[in-house]
Structure 1
Amino acid sequence: MLTHEDVKARAMQTLKWQMANGIQYVRTHVDVSDPTLTALKAMLEVKQEVAPWVDLQIVAFPQEGILSYPNGEALLEEAVRLGADVIGAIPHFEFTREYGVESLHKIFALAQKYDRLIDVHCDEIDDEQSRFVETVAALAHRDGMGARVTASHTTAMHSYNGAYASRLFRLLKMSGINFVANPLVNIHLQGRFDTYPKRRGVTRVKEMLEAGINVCFGHDDVFDPWYPLGTANMLQVLHMGLHVCQLMGYGQINDGLNLITTHSAKTLHLQDYGLSVGHAANLVILPAENGFDAVRRQTPARYSIRHGRVIAETVPSQTTLHLTQPEAVTFKR
């Protein structure tokens, strides 16, 4: 049975893993289908407790749907009233396409009523007919909310035909919405209904980058039945993402850190992010020559600095070969 204390303990453990990996900004999706909103109330407490070290955004996520679940709409609004920062939806999981579209109209109205961001679990399915992302983009364009709206997963886009995708990308660019791909989990979960060949099921990251659409990588699940191998290390996410999205040019790899830093900050709608005069002294130091080196060697964060104070450090390890004479191996070229 889910308890307040259990939720907090699990969340704190995961946040400590994230902090140890240099993460200072987190967006978490909290299921608000529970009539008691146990997880949400626990996470709101966690948000306050970790505030000195991590900015935690909480998404009110209706895991079972908004219109397809008893009191789903009321529970979602109550979660927002209690303090959720972001409003979620899962249109492809609603009973019908019509319910899915209506659920999106409702969250846009709710976001404007309470001045909240939007992050939709959108088209996380291999069905090429799941096209709710066009509704998300159209509503964001209509309401001028693109910078505050995110479509997460959009794995169905992997299966769209070229003619439809071409038309869709025009709208996506005009809308200004953000995208999150989750390569560790998407590559594991998608394609399960396929025989062979099996699709990769990761959204069109490469094409979005080429089109100037903001896209970033997320970890999604960290250590659970959907993904049991996570350590909350975003360099692992980036490493996998560059592989499955076929971003293997030197420049693509070297600039890959943007997919887990500046692009992510834009998605989270962070203000005053980055190294500039007047910004908070929040930064991560990697013992690497450049982005390419950091990704290739998967270098742990040497220091994570928050408001000018070191909050996490990793002591460098050393590998020594004992051949004709001891020799240190750094894996550098």
Structure 2
Amino acid sequence: MSYDVLIRHARLHRQSELVDIAIQDGMFSRIGQDLSALSATRVIDAEGRLVSPPFIDGHVHLDAVLTVGQPRYNSSGTLLEGIQIWGERKPSLSREDVKRRVLEEIQWEVAQGTLHIRSHVDVCDPNLTALRALLEVREEVHDICDLQLVAFPQDGILSFPNGRELMRKAMELGCDVVGGIPHHEWTRDMGVEDVHYAFSLAKEFNCDIDCHCDETDDPLSRFTEIMAADTIEQGWQGRVTGSHCTAMGSYNDAYAFKLIGLLARAQMNVIANPFDNVVLQGRFDTYPKRRGVTRVKELLAAGVNVALGHDSIMDPWFPLGRGDMLAAAQLALYLCHMSGYEEIDAVFNLITTNAARALRIQDRYGIEEGKPADFLILDAPNAFEALRLLPARLHVFKHGREVATTTSARSVLHREHNSAEQVVTFCPQTQAD
């Protein structure tokens, strides 16, 4: 038979031998070390480059993307000023405004190899304008990206008028995941009830939970433990995510050790957001300044599933960014002191297999026979070089169809004494033993 696509000489993550990958009807059909006898409509020679399952953005706020400076810039750089500015921008939201910005940003992510996105959508709006727009976007982009929507109460479930009713309405309209924000409620008791309500709503709609939790430097903000306890008590293991959890970086080690063990027992996921976490946290410190990122390395060592999100892209909280999850992983590598060789490989998993587990899509994710042919070819031979170079994503495929291509950058050195081109590859020509 003739296959639709044949990828030759591909290198898979953590595998030393090159393989060929045959794709038929949008699925991975055959994977083996030498399939040269097969015929295909299209053949791509990966030439030893890394072929990876698609990147996953486990936490982003698409409703706010590309609003930086509207109506003003965040001069203090704090999380609270960002929330205040977003509150000033929200009244001017329209369906057209939201869709225009979101569709542009999703194109950025897809072009850089991200084909799965979980977006938190602010539902503290009586009209639910952003949510209604994103529900339309979810359907419009299904050919290039799978989008999960989280009902996110930016101003609190209890602290915002009719917060409970708006959360319920958001779920009825079609949100995939229940959110929460316990540390931002007015009181601790209200924060605890925020978590309890999120669980009751999730059980009613039989869906997963992903709460912004303890996104603060306050060592006394301890709602993650409430989430873990509810997870165990409600039997929701594997279906609950704590996003940010930055206060964990400020906890004393004895309490952090206890909490990490509880998270492992609850089979909770933790999603860190290195861009926003390092920019927004530590703003009230002099020196030393806290990094703001949760204890990624220690969580992984304890068996807790950790993934990454981009969080903000040119909005009131983070004025920069372009939606590159590989860049987010590189930053996490720096901030979390994960520079050992095996640790670098583990960082790559934070935006691939770990993130798939957090989004509970692992049954249809990965380069395996019988799974959807979603993948990308990077202009690098392995994860180590990918995280070092942040190379071009040369080919991006969804369900066996190429949805994006990028041309590899080419740098040429011009020497005074030599008229011949000298191509600079940024890859060492010699390696130490």
- After TM superposition, the score normalised by the length of structure 2 is 0.76
Q: Residue 58 of structure 1 is aligned with which of 134, 137, 149?
A: 149
**Equivalent pair of 2:392/2:409 in contact (CA under 8 Å):** no
2:405 is matched with: 313
Q: Does 1:206 align with 2:297?
A: yes
* Per-residue CA distance 1:193-224 (angstroms, 9 max, x = gap): 11221111110000011111100111000111
Task: Please say if residues 306 and 354 of structure 2, whose CA atoms lie closer than 8 Å, have aligned partners that are also in contact.
Answer: yes
Cα deviation code 1:27-52 (max 9, x no counterpart): 01100000000000000000000011
Q: Which has the larger radius of gyration?
A: 2
Counterpart-to-counterpart distance in 2, 1:172 and 1:255: 19
Aligned length: 333
Matched, 1:188 2:279: yes
Residue 132 of structure 1 corresponds to which residue in structure 2? Answer: 223
Q: Which runs of 5+ in 2 are unaligned?
A: 1-91, 429-433
Match of 2:115 among 24, 29, 32: 24
Q: How far has the Cα of 1:91 moved from its partner?
A: 0.1
Candidates 188, 192, 196, aligned match of 1:97: 188
Contact 1:255 / 1:291 at 8 angstroms: preserved in 2? no
The match for 2:422 is 327
Residues 313 and 320, structure 2, Cα contact 8 Å, conserved in 1? yes
Question: Higher strand share goes to which structure?
Answer: 2
* 1:80 alignment partner, one of 138, 157, 171: 171
SS at match of 1:24: strand
Partner of residue 172 from structure 1, selected from 263, 277, 280? 263
Q: SS in structure 1 opposite 2:364? A: coil
Amino acid at match of 1:330: T
Deviation at 1:17, TM superposition (A): 0.4
> Matched residue of 1:151: which SS?
strand
Which of 31, 34, 43 is the aligned partner of 2:125? 34
1:300 matched to 2:392: yes
Q: Tell me the equivalent position of 1:281.
A: 373
1:263 to 323, 331, 354: 354
Is the CA contact 2:217–2:292 (under 8 Å) kept in the aligned structure 1?
Answer: yes
Larger helix percent: 1
Match in the other structure for 2:247: 156
**Which of 279, 286, 291 is matched with 2:383 structurally?**
291
Other-structure match for 2:43: none
Q: Counterparts of 1:146 and 1:61 in 2: how far apart (Å)?
A: 21
* Residue aligned with 2:133, SS: helix
Cα distance in 1 between the residues matched to 2:393 and 2:303: 29
Partner deviation per Cα, 1:68-118 (whole Å, 9 max, x = no partner): 110000000000000000110000000111001111111101101011111
Structure 2: distance between partners of 1:255 and 1:287: 20
Amino acid at match of 1:298: L
Shift of 1:170: 1.5
Shift in Å at residue 225 of structure 1? 2.1
Of structures 1 and 2, the one with the larger relative CO (CA 8 A, separation 6+) is 2
CA contact under 8 A between 2:261 and 2:302: conserved in structure 1? Answer: no
Q: Give the deviation of 1:300 after TM superposition.
A: 1.7
Asked if 1 retains the 8 angstrom alpha-carbon contact of 2:269 and 2:304, the reply is yes
CA distance in structure 1 between the aligned counterparts of 2:330 and 2:374, rounded to whole angstroms: 24
User: Aligned equivalents of 2:342 and 2:265: distance in 1?
Assistant: 27
State the TM-score, normalizing by the size of structure 1.
0.99
Three-state SS of the structure 1 residue aligned to 2:211 is strand
CA distance in 1, matches of 2:356, 2:201: 23
Instruction: Give CA deviations for 1:112-157 in whole Å, capped at 9, x if unaligned.
Output: 1011111000000010000000000111111221211100000000
Partner secondary structure for residue 207 of structure 1: helix
**Post-superposition, which runs of at least 4 consecutive aligned residues in structure 1 deviate over 3 A?**
none
Match of 1:49 among 125, 136, 140: 140
Deviates more, 1:105-114 or 1:137-146: 137-146
Say yes or no: does 1:239 pair with 2:330. Answer: yes
The answer on whether the counterparts of 1:60 and 1:79 sit within 8 Å (CA) in structure 2 is yes
